[in-house]
Structure 1
Amino acid sequence: MASEGNLRVELKSQQPSRNSAQHDATKSSHICPLEMLLHRLKAAKTNQDGKFASIMDALGEFGTFQRRLVTLTFLPIILAAFFTFADIFVFTAQKPYCNTSWILAVGPNLSEAEQLNLTLPRDTNGSLMTCLMYLPVTWDLESIVQFGLNYTQACQDGWIYPESKMRSLINEFDLVCGEEINVDIVLTIGQAGLLIGSLLFGFISDRLGRYPSILLSILGMIIFGFGTAFVNSFQQYLFFRFGALQALMGYIISSVALATEWLMGEHRAHAVILEHCFFSLGILFLAGLAYSLPHWRLLFLLGGAPVFSLISYIWILPESPRWLITKGKVEEAKQVLCYAAGVNKKQIPLNLLDKLQVSEQKMPKASVLDFYNNRHLRKVALVMGCVWFTASHSYFTLSFKMKDFGVNIYFSQVIPGIVEVPAQLCCIFLLEQIGRKWSLAVTLFQATFMNLLILIFPSEFKSIMALMVLLGQFSLAASVTVFFVYTAELLPTVLRATGLGLLYLAWVAGAILSLTLISQNLTISSSLCCISAICALALCSMLPETRDKPLSDTLEHYSLETRSKSKNLITEDTIYDNKTEELAKNTLLNRMTNVDSGATSSRRND
């Protein structure tokens, strides 16, 4: 009996531990499936991105269609550079003299030099005054020559420009003698046009599509770019330039978005680099044309005439299939992809095309407010905004520094244009070897270092200073190219153009601040370049690397990453396109419920 009692006591004592072991085993049996389901959920978005990557692999990564697309989208960049920097060559300095043709009524055989000597007063140094003339008289020519004229007045009948070899805006609209223009104001109006264009066309491109946005920008270049040659006043000129720069910015943003979404891997980066090379070539084209033409209207007529050939883009330019999918236009996306496959002489398997199914109630929603609400977009906007501000401020500061060396206006544009092309081509090597983030850091550090040397180096050594300015522009050209590639890859398709437009706010802010500080003190401007660059370099470490990563189409990927890191895996507003993801989610919830129920039952039994 005692042994039986002891046995009961022993069995009773082992019962809780046995129940605990059973509960642990039950819990353990669910851990592995839970982890597998968790991994499946985290990989769900990657699989969504992989769908399009698989289709593009079947289509051909860089076939005839993609090469033609790159050519079509980036040839107009030459015209964009032409219209952007045309102001530099139409405001050439002109020396005016009052129009005193009244004396020709009494002396029709007078030469121009004799006319000016008789009718214009002279300054203390003996040179003819430009904004004053002698009061006209009714004397004969002999009396005027013998006694001379004494009373002066401001120019009454306009001005002449005997020393001018080129017809510019200054002598076209007599912007002299109290009517002089402030070049900084003209540049500020231009930056305002670029800013409004970036915001407006960024919104249009993401709402209506890349294709209509590009067509609208081409229409703007025709009306406001080419139409500048026919303006009748300086105010009209400013208005047309404002409109043209809006259209140019819209084209740049939309074309970058279109090329980025059609190309894969390093081809995407190469296309953006090629765009920047074409932009530099456009500056060289502009300088050569401006040097050879004697009239500013001819410059806009001949330089802007090729824009009419872009009308053909109505029939030959494709829409972005990524954008079509995000808007639920799956059938249109399939048609575009099949057409591209036909051009490449490829065939996309039907099972891949069938995966492009997005129900209307699950279409991704996005707005500009996501740049504040979404943590990833907020981080990208702040960091890249700092980078864009730094690059812009440094670019305009170095450009102003170049003027101190007395370089001819044409060479001041040709030399940087020649320097920028190899800098942009070097980005191909950097992006392939060290990735986007480190390429941006390296090029930005080089530009900062050059700015620092310029700041502390004695200004007497002009040849060395000129070399450092060129090296700084070389590094900045590479940096601008890299952050265009990097920014386009960081932003999702639904907000890519809008994001590029918003970030241009930082570029304009850097440009305007640079123009303001340069007129006050160049040292302060250079110091700010160094400080902002150090901040940008520090912030770059916060961004993820995008090399060899698929593009994100929606914001779900970033939201899923954030939730998984905080161990809050599923929320009510999470949307999935694949039914297996929904099944996985439900299974995960059931598993978690079963685990909790099992634990509750075990505690009750205990």
Structure 2
Amino acid sequence: MSTPPAESVEGLVRALGDPGRYQVLVMVLLCFNYVPVSVNHLLMAFHGFAPEHNCRLPDQWPRNVSLPTVAPTIGDPRYQSCSMYVDPANHSWGTKDCIYGYEFHVEGLEWTVVSEWGLVCDRKYLVSIITTLYFVGVMVGGLVFGALADRFGRQPMMLLCLYVQLILGAGLFFVRRLIIFIAVRVLQGFFVQGLQTTTYSMVMELFPPHHRTLAGVAAEVFWAIGLILLAVCCYFVQHWRHVQLAISIPTLVTLLYIWLIPESLRWLISRGRSRRARVVAERIAYYNGLRLSPELLLQLEKLCSSVGAHSAKGVDITDLFRTPAIRRNSFVLFIAWFTISLAYYGISLNIADLSGNRFFNFMLGGALELVAFLLTYVSLRAVGRRACLVSYLFLSGALLIGTVATEKLLHTELISVPTLVTSLALLGKAAVVSCFCAVFLVTSEAFPTVIRSLAMGACVCWARAGSLVAPQVLRLADISYSWMPFLVFGCLALLCGFLGLLLPETGRRALPDTIQQAERSRKHDQDDIISDVGYGASPRWIVQDGLIVSRPADGSVRGSPERVPHWAASETSTDDDEKFSYPPRSIDDSSLLRFVGDKTVVHSSNSHGDFKQHVVLCDIDETRL
């Protein structure tokens, strides 16, 4: 089967499969990268767990007279965790710190990083420091690899991050010193975030607009699957060193990605790499059972020349602030990523302190995320990106503040307050992960291809700033009130919800490839082009794959219903002039469109048959913008 011609990058993507089985296979393989990302980001929820403990005593010291008890005690005595008597024979001398170390009371073979290096009592702060430093590496990695992926390509950066984090994760099994453990975790975070940034860009660039929602949600579903697998692994494996091997070694299967995962076709076109773009396009077409037509190959060359010319100038971080639309989107999304990440990791790292079994709570949280992602997919399709993001921000803020109100206002005689607080916290986490799903999509669609990975990396940098602050916010529970962290998370979520109203709706727009295209999309929604440019609301013209084309003689309109203008979908009569009393506008000197030429195009479709259309070729007169 031959491919139809394509006049734009979006049209080229559709011509190669909409979607084809090859793109679906590549998407699934890329989504598996999200499993090690989620596992490593939340690993300290288990590695940082502190088992019950008390001071270690010399052999000849009896415990019942050497350790102070926690009053009141019922049944077997419970001893204080961080102190011992100065003189067991004379308690009036008071207590002192645990000078002989600590004795941990664990179930089965469980052994955590906390029990390995005694990170309790006066060394407890090191647990939050380990988590914070890991996210420092994550923050820097997202920014660095975002820029590197835009310059050197998505695929090589993705493979580099995937295999280096595997080596570092397995290497932690052999670490014997805490300072080395911290250093390796920081390096691992650096490459893990590079893996997430490049992977998401590749997934989004595989598909046209009407399939990007499903692709983005699929990636987040694998994130939730990773969390469930982490809880199951830590429950059965228990020793943290063996957990490191269990979560790292399976990644060896991804060595096949060197041959299975191609470079992003969009990136190759945006960089003007026509030879490699042709190789990738031929590969996609072959596995989808298509044959590249000469017209499509010629159009591919033209796209590489035209789009590549716009991106020939090097890009840097300042491009996120140079033009109005991108600058506005950058500031709002930076704040959104910071807030969502702060709330998500704050809740996730606090799950071990909630009532109930921590393994079950964590696995339940992952399962709720899975359900939340599926519901988010329905919401994104129904109401769009911006409305979905803003709604879930308000919902998460209300639920998190609700946990504070429950803890402060309800009494245990009326209801099991700890259980209700845990339930609200888990529901709040589910709402926050829905925000994550929506903000990922908005970010990938709001920025052009030439700076997409850079923008994603910058947003992730702000997200990791939130995640590294999260452990410190949780310490507010120790120095002020137990409910203070959730109040902070909830108030910031509500504030961010109002800011989200400033974002554009990106759901039905073609992905911009250049900065100029991204700025134009600020002025014209794809659904409004029909009434805003060139021909106005004439029944003789429709928008087809980004082009203004004549309506077929039989009145049919190709494409999904969401891309068909409302007047084209609702009218059934063939006499268009009887339905519109005003004449169609032509291109004049005041129009933003500039006439380039015209031609007749034959469209082939399995579902609609073949039909001809007279295509008027125009471009935007930028001097009139």
TM-score range, shorter chain: 0.7 to 0.9
Q: Distance in 2 between matches of 1:588 and 1:63?
A: 36
| Cα offset, 1:123, TM superposition | 2.8
Structure showing greater radius of gyration is: 1
Task: Please list, as runs of the form range in 1=range in 2, the aligned pairs for 1:374-389 lying within 5 A after superposition.
Answer: 374-389=323-338
What are the superposed Cα offsets for residues 288-324 of structure 1, whole Å, 9 maximum, x if unpaired? 1111114211111122111122222122211001111
5+ unaligned residues in a row in structure 1: which ranges? Answer: 1-47, 104-114, 136-149, 566-575, 593-606
| 1:172-571 correspondence to structure 2 within 5 Å | 172-176=116-120, 178-355=122-299, 356-357=301-302, 358-359=304-305, 363-365=311-313, 366-399=315-348, 405-457=354-406, 458-460=409-411, 461=415, 462=417, 463-518=419-474, 519=476, 520-521=480-481, 525-559=485-519
Q: Which residue identity does 1:439 align to in structure 2?
A: C
What amino acid is the match of 1:420?
Answer: E
1:48-87 superposed matches below 5 A = 50-87=7-44
- Using the alignment, how far apart are the partners of 1:170 and 1:283 within structure 2? 21
CA distance in 1, matches of 2:203, 2:621: 40
- Is contact 1:454–1:465 with CA below 8 Å preserved after alignment? yes
CA 1:435–1:413: 2 relative to 1, 3 Å: same
CA distance in 1 between partners of 2:69 and 2:398 (Å) = 48
Task: In structure 2, list runs of 5 or more residues that go unmatched.
Answer: 71-76, 87-92, 526-593, 599-616
Q: Provide the C-alpha distance between the structure 2 equivalents of 1:467 and 1:548, rounded to a whole number of angstroms.
A: 36
Q: Show CA shifts across 1:472-507 (max 9, x none).
A: 222212111011111111111111111111112332
Q: CA separation in 1, counterparts of 2:119 and 2:487?
A: 35
**8 Å CA contact retained: 2:338, 2:466:** yes
- Could you tell me the TM-score, scaled by structure 1's length? 0.74
2:66 aligned residue: 121
Q: CA 1:178/1:64 → structure 2, altered by over 3 Å: closer, same or farther? A: same
Say which is worse superposed, 456-465 or 375-384, in terms of deviation: 456-465
The residue identity in structure 1 corresponding to 2:437 is T
Compute the displacement of 1:90 (Å). Answer: 2.0
Greater strand share, structure number: 2
Amino acid at match of 1:507: A
SS of structure 2 residue aligned to 1:410:
helix
Query: Contact (CA 8 Å) 2:67, 2:83: kept in 1 or not?
Result: no
Contact 1:218/1:311 (<8 A) preserved? no
Supply the distance in 1 between the matched residues of 2:145 and 2:483 (Cα, whole angstroms).
36
Partner of 1:17: none
How far apart are 1:116 and its partner, in Å?
Answer: 5.9
CA shift, 1:469, in A, is 2.3
Does the 8 Å contact 1:394/1:529 carry over to 2?
yes
Which shows bigger deviation, 180-189 or 456-465? Answer: 456-465
- How has the CA–CA distance of structure 1 residues 178 and 549 changed in structure 2, closer, same or farther, with 3 Å as cutoff? closer
1:81, 1:585 → 2: CA distance? 44
Question: Is the 2:390–2:498 contact (alpha carbons within 8 Å) kept by the matching residues of 1?
Answer: no
- Following superposition, the deviation at residue 398 of structure 1 comes to 4.0
**Alpha-carbon distance in 2 for matches of 1:411, 1:588:** 58
Indicate if the aligned counterparts of 1:58 and 1:348 stay in contact, CA closer than 8 A: no
- Classify 1:527/1:88 alpha carbon distance in 2 versus 1 (closer, same or farther; 3 Å): closer
Is 171-180 or 295-304 further displaced after alignment? 171-180
The Cα shift of 1:189 comes to: 1.1
Q: Judging changes above 3 Å, is the alpha-carbon distance between structure 1 residues 396 and 91 closer, same or farther for their aligned structure 2 residues?
A: closer
Q: How far 1:97 sits from its partner (Å)?
A: 6.4
For the 8 Å contact 2:140–2:461, the answer to whether it is kept is no
Change in Cα spacing, 1:526 to 1:315, as seen in structure 2 (3 Å) is same
Report the CA distance between 1:253 and its aligned residue.
0.7
Amino acid at match of 1:473: K
Which structure shows the bigger proportion of residues in helix conformation? 1
Q: CA deviation at 1:352?
A: 2.0
Taking the aligned partners of 1:401 and 1:98, their CA distance within structure 2 comes to: 25
Of the structure 1 ranges 351-360 and 227-236, higher mean CA displacement relative to structure 2 is found in 351-360
Deviation per residue, 1:342-362 (Å, 9 max, x gap): 011112322122123344765
Matches within 5 A, 1:594-605: none
SS in 2 for 1:354: helix
Question: Does the C-alpha gap of structure 1 residues 124 and 173 become closer, same or farther in structure 2, counting only changes over 3 Å?
Answer: closer
Pick closer, same or farther for the CA change 1:534–1:93 going to 2, 3 Å: closer
Matched residues, number: 508
Indicate the structure whose relative CO is greater, using CA pairs within 8 Å and at least 6 residues apart.
1
C-alpha RMSD over aligned residues: 3.8
For the residue of structure 2 that corresponds to 1:211, the secondary structure is helix
Cα distance, 1:214–1:116 mapped onto 2, change above 3 Å: farther
* Cα distance in structure 2, aligned partners of 1:586 and 1:472: 46
What is the deviation of 1:377?
1.2
> By how many angstroms is 1:385 displaced?
1.7
| Residue identity in the other structure for 1:52 | V
Distance 1:444 1:337, change over 3 A: same
Which AA in structure 2 matches 1:306?
P
In the TM superposition, what is the alpha-carbon distance from 1:509 to its structure 2 partner? 3.4
- Between the aligned partners of 1:50 and 1:370, the Cα distance in structure 2 is 27
Deviation at 1:540, TM superposition (A): 2.7
DSSP 3-state at the match of 1:67? helix
The correspondence of residues 22-171 of structure 1 with structure 2, limited to 5 A, is 50-95=7-52, 117=62, 121-123=66-68, 161=104, 163=106, 165=108, 166-171=110-115
CA–CA distance in structure 1, aligned partners of residues 402 and 143 of structure 2: 36
1:42 aligned residue: none
